[in-house]
Structure 1
């Protein structure tokens, strides 16, 4: 019998929608590899939520943003085999953001960089097969204006191989 062990990931994420397209990144590591994800990520030591939001968004997309609203927090649990870990418990703080300046860039690649570039992706083409749970939650928020309080469990989650 396998004992479950969890990796807790906490991060801040920006939701930006224009003309029914969501600004997403192409994920290149972790449980969302080869899927679209929201720009954002974990905080650095001593960094506030908003400082982290601004830094992560710029690092992954090339855009500076104005944070318009804190939408709330959601958490997701899904299987992920990594080191001695069997599951990830991802806690995400969502912000509605507006682009202020900048432009798409190729993200600087460094250890821990999980973005392989950003793009506008039509929300009508987002599915559970091509997107992270965070992107799915962002679309749900746009449709309902609610995040909900229940944990979202993805028991059948498939981590896509690197091709």
Structure 2
């Protein structure tokens, strides 16, 4: 019998090109107050590709199609005894409109989405997942080596502009 497990396995969507990346203004979780990718936990209810396109639509407002699966990276955060395993997908936008401000009646998981120039994304304002996406978009390579993040403090204030 297969049962759903509570694991740190997630799918992440990369929507961008060699100059910009669509990111969320994250307000909760381990990447609070930083830019993050559209990310959803893997469940038994949906395929991986359905999960990543659904979360991209919910978090960015963009309808997307899966262009390719890029790879999987394990992130280890020994300071907080956390681990995350991320399966990255390159997504092609095919419709919708970027949600730049979260409506007041929705749960505030993010402050909306934004298309940010790659040169503005850095360690201080972005999750490690965003930096992995930036590396791929800028170079065309996708390293899959496990990543150990020795220290990753959560900023007290958002590292992006609130609308």
In structure 1, list runs of 5 or more residues that go unmatched: 1-6, 81-85
Q: Which residue of 2 aligns with 1:151?
A: 146
Contact 2:17 2:137 in 1 (8 A): no
Match among 106, 109, 126 for residue 109 of structure 1: 106
Q: Which residue of 2 aligns with 1:93?
A: 87
Contact 1:72 1:147 in 2 (8 A): yes
CA RMSD of aligned residues (A): 2.2
Q: How high is the TM-score relative to the length of structure 2?
A: 0.82
Change in CA separation of 1:149 and 1:101 when aligned onto 2, cut-off 3 Å: closer
- Equivalent residues in 2 for 1:1-163, closer than 5 Å: 8-18=7-17, 20-79=19-78, 86-105=80-99, 106=102, 109-110=106-107, 114-162=109-157
Structure 2 Cα separation of the partners of residues 41 and 53 of structure 1? 7
Structure 1 Cα separation of the partners of residues 92 and 7 of structure 2? 28
Which segment drifts farther, 35-44 or 88-97? 35-44
Aligned length: 150
Structure 2 Cα separation of the partners of residues 54 and 79 of structure 1? 31
Higher normalized strand content (fraction of residues): 1
Contact 2:18 2:137 in 1 (8 A): no
Change in CA separation of 1:22 and 1:66 when aligned onto 2, cut-off 3 Å: same
Contact 1:79 1:157 in 2 (8 A): no
Change in CA separation of 1:44 and 1:8 when aligned onto 2, cut-off 3 Å: closer
In structure 2, list runs of 5 or more residues that go unmatched: 1-5, 159-163
Residue 98 of structure 1, CA deviation: 0.9
